[in-house]
C-alpha cells in the first residue's frame, strides 16, 4: 500500500490551507480521499474566494471524501468549513499519561508479546469487529462496511510498517486484546490502534489489560504514553480517566462529501 503523498498549500493574508490526497484511504475506498491538515482563517469573506483554488484541486482529482481536524476553540475555522459544506462528526481527544516510571503495578497473569505473522488474520478480523466508533462509522453518509474494511486494512498494514509494532495480549494462551504501537521518541509510546477481543467487553478485563500494557512499557523504560480517542467512545474515555491519563483540549473532526450524493460505499 502506498503511504506517500504530496502536500499542496494556499497561503494568503486571509487563508492558510494545507491539503493532500490520502492514498491509503483512497485504496481502501476505491475513490479519491483527501485531507486538510492545516487551516487558519483570518478573514472569512476573502478566505472563501481564496478557497476556490482548493475546490478546483478537489474537482480535478474527483475527491469523494475530505476530512479536517481543527482545535475545538477555533470556531472561526470550523464555521468556515461548515459554510463550505463540511459537517461535524466527532470530537477527537489525545489523552496522555506521563511519569510512567513512577507508577507501580500489581502482578498480572496477562502476557504481552509481539504479534506474529500467524496472528495477522485473526487480529485483522478482531479489529474489523470491535472498532466501531470513529469518524467512518459515525458519519451516516459513509457505509459502515468501509469503516470495518479500513480498520482491517490498518491492522494488516501494521505488520509490515517498520514504525509500528503490533502487540498481542494473552490470557491463558488466548489473544484477548491488541495494541498497535508507535514510538515517536525513545521514552514515548503512542497507541495508534487498540482493541479488546469480541465478547469480552463489560467484564472488567479492559482495565487489567491496559494496566498490563502500561507495565510492559514501564519495564521498557517508557515515560509517556498517549493515544487518540473519539468523544463518542464514552466507555473508553472513562477507562483512560481511571488509568490516570490527562486530556488536553480536543479537536473537532469535520468531513466533506459531495452534496446530494448517495451513501459512500
Q: Which domains does the chain have, with CATH numbers?
A: 8-91+251-256 (3.40.630.30), 96-242 (3.40.630.30)
Read off the C-alpha cell for 191.
Answer: 497507541
Q: Exposed (0-12), middle (13-18) or buried (19+): which is 169, by Cβ within 10 Å?
A: buried
Read off the C-alpha cell for 18.
Answer: 494545507
Specify the 3-state DSSP secondary structure of 88: strand
pLDDT tens-digit map of 171-194: 999 999 999 999 999 999 999 999
> Is residue 169 pLDDT above 90, yes or no?
yes
Q: Is 197:130 a contact under the CB 8 Å cutoff?
A: yes
- What's the predicted TM-score (pTM) here? 0.92
CA distance 100 to 182: 17
User: What is the model's pLDDT at position 201?
Assistant: 81
User: What is the model's pLDDT at position 1?
Assistant: 74
Residue range 233-261: average pLDDT?
Answer: 94
pLDDT tens-digit map of 38-51: 999 999 999 999 99
Q: Is the dihedral of CA 218, 154, 132, 20 positive or negative?
A: positive
Residue 183 has, within 13 A of its CA and on its CB side, a CA count of 12
pLDDT band for position 131 (cuts 50, 70, 90): very high
End-to-end CA distance of the chain: 20
CA distance 160 to 246: 31
CA distance 160 to 230: 26
CA distance 113 to 97: 22
Q: What is the percent of the chain where pLDDT is above 90? A: 92
DSSP label at 193? E
Q: At what angle do helices 120-130 and 144-158 cross, to 10 degrees?
A: 150
Element (H, E) at 131: none
Q: Give the number of other CB atoms < 10 A from CB of residue 221.
A: 10
User: What is the model's pLDDT at position 202?
Assistant: 78
Q: Is 134:142 a contact under the CB 8 Å cutoff?
A: no
Which residues lie below 8 Å from residue 184, measured CB to CB, with a gap of 6+?
Answer: 190
Output b/e per residue, 50-66; b: 16+ Cβ within 10 A. Answer: bbeebeebbeeeebbbb
| Torsion-angle region of 204 (φ positive above 0: left; ψ -120 to 50: alpha; else: beta) | left
pLDDT band for position 2 (cuts 50, 70, 90): confident
Q: Give the number of other CB atoms < 10 A from CB of residue 139.
A: 23
Identify which has the larger pLDDT, 65 or 261. 65
Amino acid at each position: 500500500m502506498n503511504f506517500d503523498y504530496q502536500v499542496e498549500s494556499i497561503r494568503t493574508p486571509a487563508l492558510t490551507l494545507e491539503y493532500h490526497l490520502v492514498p491509503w484511504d483512497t485504496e481502501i475506498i476505491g475513490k479519491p480521499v483527501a485531507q486538510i491538515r492545516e487551516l487558519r482563517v483570518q478573514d472569512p469573506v476573502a478566505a472563501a474566494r481564496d478557497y476556490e483554488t482548493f475546490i478546483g484541486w478537489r474537482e480535478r482529482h474527483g475527491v469523494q471524501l475530505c476530512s479536517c481536524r481543527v482545535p475545538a476553540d477555533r470556531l472561526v475555522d470550523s464555521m468556515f468549513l461548515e459554510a463550505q459544506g463540511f459537517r461535524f462528526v466527532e470530537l477527537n481527544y489525545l489523552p496522555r499519561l506521563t511519569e510512567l516510571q513512577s507508577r507501580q503495578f500489581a502482578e498480572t497473569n496477562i502476557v504481552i508479546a509481539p504479534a506474529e505473522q500467524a496472528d495477522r488474520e485473526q487480529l485483522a478480523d478482531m479489529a474489523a469487529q470491535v472498532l466501531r466508533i470513529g469518524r467512518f462509522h459515525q458519519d451516516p453518509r459513509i457505509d459502515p462496511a468501509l469503516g470495518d474494511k479500513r480498520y482491517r486494512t490498518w491492522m494488516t498494514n501494521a505488520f509490515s510498517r517498520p514504525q509500528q509494532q503490533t502487540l498481542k495480549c494473552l490470557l491463558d494462551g488466548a489473544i484477548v486484546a491488541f495494541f498497535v504501537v508507535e514510538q515517536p521518541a525513545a521514552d514515548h509510546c503512542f497507541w495508534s490502534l487498540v482493541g479488546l477481543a469480541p465478547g469480552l467487553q463489560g467484564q472488567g478485563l479492559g482495565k487489567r489489560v491496559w494496566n498490563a500494557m502500561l507495565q510492559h512499557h514501564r519495564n521498557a523504560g517508557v515515560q509517556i504514553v498517549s493515544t487518540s480517542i473519539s468523544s463518542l467512545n464514552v466507555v473508553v474515555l472513562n477507562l483512560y480517566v481511571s488509568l490516570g491519563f490527562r486530556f488536553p483540549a480536543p479537536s473537532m473532526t469535520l468531513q466533506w462529501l459531495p452534496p446530494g450524493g448517495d451513501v459512500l460505499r
